[in-house]
Amino acid sequence: MQRGGFTVRVDIDTSPDDLAAAANRRQVREFAAALQALAADPRFADLHVEITDPLAAAAPREQRAALVAAHQAVARFQERRLRGWHGLLDERTATQILLDAAAPEVQYYEFKIAEEARVGADWLWVWLDPAGGCFMVLVQAKSAKAESRRFAVDLGYRSGKHKVLQMDLLLESSRVFGVPFAYVFYTGTREFRAALECAKPGCEGACQDREGVDVLWLAGLSADNLRMLTRPREWAHDVMERGLPLEDMLGSGGPLPPFHDLNLRNSEVLPEGLREPIAAPQGPAQTAARMVLSQISPIRMGQFSAVDPVAVDLPGGALFPQLPRDRGHFPVPYLPHVLGGLRAEVPGYVADALAGRTPPDWVTERLAGIVVVPPSGAAAGQQVAPQAPALPNRLWSPRQAA
């Protein structure tokens, strides 16, 4: 059949006017990529595709800068919502905006919606190193709220028909994956927080006045410590005090602060060769592991219980094959919990996602998706490690054929 030539133009807007556009832009880029593949087929030689995508044409950002931009994008959406008296974004929408704004430097692979009430976790974040190693964290998103004119977060949330504590579900999922868990808190805007009261005696709102904390991360064991030891009305204050901006998972841009740990400083418990990656981390994966541990180790230093130096085995592929089982007053041994996420190579299910293959059902049924933070200088589409070739962001159903 004879066909005349025709042109398809795709213009991608980077300033959406509605919340759905943040997710739609990613799907439009996927459609545009499919059109380009079609135009490259000799059978469709008359098809010409022209794509205008300001984000793709922009100079690559460093990964930390991409997370800063994503943090700011969420803040702008929150401001727009609050000006219209619509309240704060829900966790799922805020996360979609965050990931879309961080792309393409931060890549994400979305599965079907997981049953959060059953598994607890939202996303698996993976921080890659140039040599092929990685650090993985299960992340649960939570939004702050206003309760009787008080600034509040809920660390005791129970979900499902049986009202299971969400933190227990997260701990169980962390055992399945052999990685730590953490929270990302969407805390609104500075103006939103300033209009509310802080329940902590003597604070007078100072915690809510911090700059750059509209999107915070907090290690899961630190959050569990708050839940057990402080009053629910004070959880928001303590989260704001302990939490750090999301982008600080890669450090603050300067030298890392001094680090002290009850077990890591004991050479009889942990040899020097195993302490070095945490004391002087090299690359984003070790840095992210150090940042998570830095929120937990000071808590252990203040717990009055003897060190338990007996070693336990870590999951296969872990950078540390054995670590002390010392737990202090935490619900699990804290070093294996955190450093179990530090792997010598990328696990197969993460490599599947990076290569465009559907991960196993036990992964897709437990997660909304996987977020990959490549090392600086590795742009979307560039191979970042022999075990993990990075491809542009894509969306699929886990039931789609590999």
pLDDT tens string 238-293: 888 888 888 888 877 677 777 788 887 665 666 566 677 777 888 889 889 999 99
Q: Return the pLDDT at 381.
A: 40
Q: Return the pLDDT at 390.
A: 34
Q: How confident is the model at residue 196 (pLDDT cuts 50, 70, 90)?
A: confident
pLDDT tens digits for range 145-162: 887 778 888 888 887 777
Mean pLDDT, all residues of the chain: 78
d(CA 112, CA 368): 6
Hey, is 305 helix, strand or coil? coil
Beta bridge partners of 123: 139, 369
Instruction: Delimit the domains of the chain by residue range.
Output: 1-58, 60-210+224-239+343-395
pLDDT tens digits for range 159-186: 777 788 888 989 999 999 999 999 999 9
Hey, is 146 helix, strand or coil? strand
Tokens 């949330």 — which residue?
Answer: 157
Over residues 5-33, mean pLDDT: 57
d(CA 246, CA 278): 20
pLDDT tens digits for range 304-349: 888 888 888 888 888 888 888 898 899 999 999 999 999 999 999 9
pTM above 0.95, yes or no: no
Residue 202: Cβ within 10 Å count: 6
d(CA 178, CA 186): 26
Q: Write out the H or E segment, with its range, that includes residue 219.
A: strand 215-219
Q: How confident is the model at residue 56 (pLDDT cuts 50, 70, 90)?
A: very low
Beta bridge partners of 9: 50
Cα torsion 276, 281, 282, 288 to 10°: value is 140
- The gap from C-alpha 109 to its chain's centroid, in whole angstroms, comes to 12
d(CA 307, CA 291): 22
